[in-house]
Structure 1
Amino acid sequence: MIDLAPHDETDTTALKERERFAQILVLFGRHGLKGLAARLGLGAGGGEPLEDTRPEAIVALLRDIGPVAVKFGQILAMRSDLLEPAWVDALSKLQDRVPPLPFAAVQPLIEEAIGGPIETSFSHFETEALAAGSIAQAHAATLLDGRDVIVKIRRPGIERIVDADLRLLRRLARVAERRIPEIARLKPDELLRHFAESLAREMDLSAEARASDAIGEYLKTYGVRTARFDWELSGRRVNIQERLRGFPASDLDAARRSDLDLATLASTYAQAILRMIIINGHFHADPHPGNVFFLEDGTLGLIDFGAVGTLLPRRREELVRLGLAIASEDTGGVVDILMLWAGDPDVERVRLEEAMAELIDRFSNVLLDQIDLADIFQMVFAILRDFHLALPPDLALVLRTLLTAEGFVRRIDPAFDIARELAPIAKELMRERASPARLRGEAGKLLAALGRAVLSTPNLVGQIEKVARTGSITVSIAPKDLERLRGRERAGRGTPQLYPATLAICAAIVFSSQPLLAGLLAFGAVALAVFEGVRRR
């Protein structure tokens, strides 16, 4: 049996962690998972294959372990690129809902945060919580100046619980990665690192306020409101935000009884989500109907910025390149991006290209307004699982957000036309790519790359001189690359990376009779090689 706890018996933390592991082992047995515990080294016996483990039992185990395990399960539920649909469906049932604490337990935290008794800042305060989660609970109140607000309070002691359970989860993940190949493919350590970062942001209630302010400033342009925060009274453990008046979009019956223009609201919501991700690069990562409000003035509101995502410029560029490759039916380009995201693992590239070509062909003649993103994503996720490819966590979050958004707008407006929403954004991106500033920037990168190539060409020049003197060319190709070339040949497609090599060979052949032409060909080979390198980055 593997001992996961620290070995300093005199250390109180070590003893508590041993007790916690003992509790978790009991929970494994309670949910019929003794075989899995044995595979992890937490119990006696030979263990059982992971495929024999029931997803429902794991969900029940995570729920009993506590809030950190539940939230980690919710993160895993977003990873359709890693997990089979049965696991995703089961994990999606995990809810971060817990009974609220009595008001007497949170009142001291509120008064400490505002620097005095509640009466000094509020004319009214609801002692019964509006909502409660594992991290915080929310109460309605009214400030002395008459503004209606929501007061969110972090649960006392939650930081210590989260830190302790995160340590245990990391140790358990490292053991699982060593002992169970199926889990090693999921890269649990990387998943937990990303999870810990997002959990740290959620624990800091002032981070929610900053995100709401920053993203809200961007969304104003599109007629979407976010709550304003009272910064004098808000901090890491308590935040105080404006109470938006309206009803949650999850109440579709009320929405349909109202005079609201649901088609326009669906379009506004879609534009807000797409532009937050693609243009702004900083976005609300959990825009489910409960976090969307139809306001009394007929506009749209977004609340709860505890979960946010970031799409870095290089990721956006990769997504644009992926879109262009799909549009031009360039399956090699599509596979290049997928391999880049997965860390360039050793896969059957030819078979992967064939699978992507089949997928692209399936949708090539479908009208955009008939395309269901959920269907496309599920097919892509199935291919990724089949080839053991994984998306980076930031992109997985982007896709989860897009799926949430599309499912929501389809419920509001079944005739939702995604082409209408994407067209102006696509045009904006194309204008940006063709702008003088962008072209100057790309030219600068190309010149810099050419400069680096020139500085590193003594060996190249020597090789060219040797070819000219001997009339012979030595070609060395790695077995993996040779197999890739054979696959390209079988697929009947040209390989852009071969063009520079072809020009270089031609230059060597004509060097003795046409030195000027050979020089031009050699320069073209270098330029093409550099351009291809810049394009692939």
Structure 2
Amino acid sequence: MELIEVPQLIRNAERFREVVTILTRHGLADWMSGVPSIWPDRLRGAVADDSMTTAERVRVAFEDLGTTFIKLGQVLSTREDLVGRELACELAQLRANTPSDPSDEVIAMIESELGAGIDELFSSFDPVAMASASIGQVHRATTHEGDDVVVKVQHPGIERRIVNDLEIMQKLAEIAEQQSERLRQYRPVDTIREFQRSLMRELDFQRELKNMDRFRSNFEDEPDVHFAVPYPKLSSRRVLTMERLDGISVSDKAALKSSGADLNEVAHRGATVFLDMIFRDGFYHADPHPGNLMLLGPGTCDDQQPAKQVVGLLDCGMVGRINDALRDDLEAALIAAVTGDADSIAEIVVRLGEVPSDFDEPSLVSEIHDMLDDYSDQKLRDFDVSSCLRDVTRSIREHQIHLPAKVAMLLKVLAMLEGTAHQLNPEFSLAELLQPYGQQAMRRRLSPRRVYERIKNRVDDWDHLLSILPKDLGDVLHSLKQGNFDIHLQHRRLEPIVNRLVMGILTAALFVGSASLWSSGVPPLLFGVSVPGLLGCLLAMVMGVRLCWQISKVR
């Protein structure tokens, strides 16, 4: 496909040139060398910095490219199954150091979004941002009711820039998938589409507000867990006002120690909150890094119980969801891991993921058997969940199994959760904390109510099938009787094959016909050689060479 034919390129020509230039500068655009383009040759074939690994060059390039590419890198850091451990770890270091916007632009954005003056909305508003991230910045404020709040404001114009970058990413992904066998295994088109959906949801602060309300509802009976209270009347799609939480960030271990906090209790409580979200609620905070957790102080409780320190959670923009079917598979995988059933684990992996046509299931089962043997002699307290998940992810990637994004995100969250807890207490054991959830899962799956629900669902499925079968079978028999029964087959990616086949037939026909003209001496003649025959043979040879070159690129 010619780049100049792409409508997005016309709208975003300068930005497209900038993206290609930066990728080339870091030696990451070699896959574009075979693409006909309007860009000058100086944008191609740059020599990469030999002092940096490919993963490091990707990270630096994403930092140079700005907000949207940094967010993409952060998302890819959760897809170790897709990009590999080295690149995932490197991209996990990406942090957007975005300068704050001028106060007059921020205030104008708030007033435009909320439809009132800043003095009408807040009794006080600090024009100096307390923090600035890739999408928005945060300001302290006080409501007219005297509540201390923070106001999260989207950077002006950031949505338009992100949309433009997403269009460019989509086109680059299509080119990469067409031109590079190496990049094709990363499924760039599907990855960018999933990233686009995720990022556009993150740009809508109303979604984060709803997430906060849902988390608060799920934990309303647990006084030692706190999510900020949102203020819907002071919020919009680009402005989010929420309760200001005052406490100690879990990332500040020295301050936690100085406060006298029990770090083991904080790690245990924080991890329990996330496991409850995952296995109890099926709706979880998907970014459990230390900066998103705070220690707020003692919670409310009765007189007989000592006060517990409250764990507060920030930034509810990125969430994960687990439906009943996925929860069943997760529970089955936990039970299979406990019982050492490698065949069942492999079956679940295959059912959840998308396997290649040459998938070797016995090999995967054998690897899982070996992995279970490696971990079987470890005590529960010493079991390294993160290491086990990395081994599973590595095996999945080696067999080119592509997991759904929601599964990959869950695996990453569990690994991040253990890492965050280990920063507080190196002796913390996530496996010990997971054990009761595995036992609960086994009891739940074998409970009479669950067995009844499964039987009922099967009966409903069979009842539906039996209700539609007579009519569908009658339609098929009627079509057979009338002689108009058709079978429609859908062939994906068949067009390039057909095109090459037609090109081969035309090339052969042209060569045979031209050779006949040459041998027959069909005029006009040049030095006794038939000019039509000679030109036809040369054209056939050019077509044949080009066809062979195209076929050699497809492995």
Q: Which band: TM-score by shorter chain? A: 0.7 to 0.9
- Measured after TM superposition, the shift of residue 130 of structure 1 is 1.0
Relative distance call for 1:37 and 1:457 in structure 2 (3 A) is closer
- Measured after TM superposition, the shift of residue 187 of structure 1 is 1.7
Letter of the 1:60 counterpart = V
Equivalent residues in 2 for 1:165-244, closer than 5 Å = 165-222=165-222, 223-244=224-245
Aligned to 2:330: 319
Letter of the 2:337 counterpart = I
Letter of the 1:22 counterpart = R
Output the CA distance in 2 between the equivalents of 1:367 and 1:243: 42
Aligned to 2:3: 4
- Measured after TM superposition, the shift of residue 424 of structure 1 is 2.9
Deviates more, 1:53-62 or 1:353-362: 53-62
Aligned to 2:533: none
Unaligned runs of 5+ in 2: 299-308, 471-555
Given the alignment of the two structures, is residue 342 of structure 1 paired with residue 341 of structure 2, yes or no? no
Aligned to 1:328: 339
Deviates more, 1:111-120 or 1:373-382: 111-120
Letter of the 2:2 counterpart = D
Q: Secondary structure at the match of 1:70?
A: helix
- Measured after TM superposition, the shift of residue 452 of structure 1 is 7.7
- Measured after TM superposition, the shift of residue 37 of structure 1 is 3.5
Letter of the 1:365 counterpart = D
Output the CA distance in 2 between the equivalents of 1:7 and 1:230: 43
Relative distance call for 1:140 and 1:396 in structure 2 (3 A) is same
2:331–2:442: 8 Å Cα contact kept in structure 1? no
- Measured after TM superposition, the shift of residue 60 of structure 1 is 2.0
Aligned to 2:517: none
Relative distance call for 1:455 and 1:127 in structure 2 (3 A) is closer
Aligned with 1:28 (options 8, 16, 23): 23
- Measured after TM superposition, the shift of residue 20 of structure 1 is 2.2
Output the CA distance in 2 between the equivalents of 1:36 and 1:286: 33
Given the alignment of the two structures, is residue 391 of structure 1 paired with residue 403 of structure 2, yes or no? yes
Output the CA distance in 2 between the equivalents of 1:191 and 1:7: 20
Equivalent residues in 2 for 1:350-499, closer than 5 Å = 350-448=362-460
Q: Secondary structure at the match of 2:153?
A: strand
- Measured after TM superposition, the shift of residue 450 of structure 1 is 5.8
Equivalent residues in 2 for 1:77-226, closer than 5 Å = 77-222=77-222, 223-226=224-227
Aligned to 1:490: none
1:39–1:46: 8 Å Cα contact kept in structure 2? no
Q: Secondary structure at the match of 1:221?
A: coil
Aligned with 2:12 (options 4, 8, 17): 17
1:516-535 superposed Cα distances (whole Å, 9 cap, x missing partner): xxxxxxxxxxxxxxxxxxxx
Q: Percent identity among equivalent residues?
A: 31
Output the CA distance in 2 between the equivalents of 1:446 and 1:439: 11
- Measured after TM superposition, the shift of residue 453 of structure 1 is 8.5
Output the CA distance in 2 between the equivalents of 1:6 and 1:282: 43
Deviates more, 1:421-430 or 1:302-311: 421-430
Output the CA distance in 1 between the equivalents of 2:220 and 2:102: 37
Q: Secondary structure at the match of 1:99?
A: coil
1:227–1:303: 8 Å Cα contact kept in structure 2? yes
Count of residue pairs brought into register by the alignment: 452
Letter of the 1:75 counterpart = V
Relative distance call for 1:436 and 1:122 in structure 2 (3 A) is same
- Measured after TM superposition, the shift of residue 248 of structure 1 is 0.9
Output the CA distance in 2 between the equivalents of 1:275 and 1:5: 52
1:293–1:302: 8 Å Cα contact kept in structure 2? yes
Output the CA distance in 2 between the equivalents of 1:33 and 1:343: 28
- Measured after TM superposition, the shift of residue 367 of structure 1 is 1.3
Output the CA distance in 1 between the equivalents of 2:231 and 2:4: 43
1:5–1:18: 8 Å Cα contact kept in structure 2? no
1:174–1:188: 8 Å Cα contact kept in structure 2? yes
Q: Secondary structure at the match of 2:80?
A: coil
1:32-62 superposed Cα distances (whole Å, 9 cap, x missing partner): 3453442566665997999x98222222222
2:342–2:365: 8 Å Cα contact kept in structure 1? yes
Equivalent residues in 2 for 1:255-266, closer than 5 Å = 255-266=256-267
1:4–1:172: 8 Å Cα contact kept in structure 2? no
Letter of the 2:383 counterpart = I
1:136-162 superposed Cα distances (whole Å, 9 cap, x missing partner): 111011112211100000111111111
1:129–1:138: 8 Å Cα contact kept in structure 2? yes
Unaligned runs of 5+ in 1: 459-537
1:280-312 superposed Cα distances (whole Å, 9 cap, x missing partner): 111111121111010033210001101111111
1:315-355 superposed Cα distances (whole Å, 9 cap, x missing partner): 11111111222222222111111112222433122221111
Given the alignment of the two structures, is residue 300 of structure 1 paired with residue 311 of structure 2, yes or no? yes
Relative distance call for 1:109 and 1:457 in structure 2 (3 A) is closer
Letter of the 1:439 counterpart = V
TM-score (norm 1): 0.79
Letter of the 1:105 counterpart = E
1:37–1:47: 8 Å Cα contact kept in structure 2? no
1:78–1:397: 8 Å Cα contact kept in structure 2? yes
Deviates more, 1:178-187 or 1:279-288: 178-187
Letter of the 2:290 counterpart = P
1:96-143 superposed Cα distances (whole Å, 9 cap, x missing partner): 221111111111111223332211222221111111112111101111
Relative distance call for 1:339 and 1:118 in structure 2 (3 A) is same
1:40–1:176: 8 Å Cα contact kept in structure 2? no
1:137–1:154: 8 Å Cα contact kept in structure 2? yes
Letter of the 2:197 counterpart = E
Letter of the 1:127 counterpart = P
Letter of the 1:117 counterpart = G
Output the CA distance in 2 between the equivalents of 1:405 and 1:431: 25
- Measured after TM superposition, the shift of residue 451 of structure 1 is 5.9
Output the CA distance in 2 between the equivalents of 1:355 and 1:303: 39
1:39–1:48: 8 Å Cα contact kept in structure 2? no
Q: Secondary structure at the match of 1:151?
A: strand
Bigger radius of gyration: 2
Output the CA distance in 1 between the equivalents of 2:129 and 2:2: 42
1:82–1:384: 8 Å Cα contact kept in structure 2? no
1:193-237 superposed Cα distances (whole Å, 9 cap, x missing partner): 221121112101111111011012212334210000111111111
Letter of the 1:294 counterpart = L
2:9–2:168: 8 Å Cα contact kept in structure 1? no
Output the CA distance in 2 between the equivalents of 1:49 and 1:30: 8
1:139–1:151: 8 Å Cα contact kept in structure 2? yes
Aligned to 1:56: 56
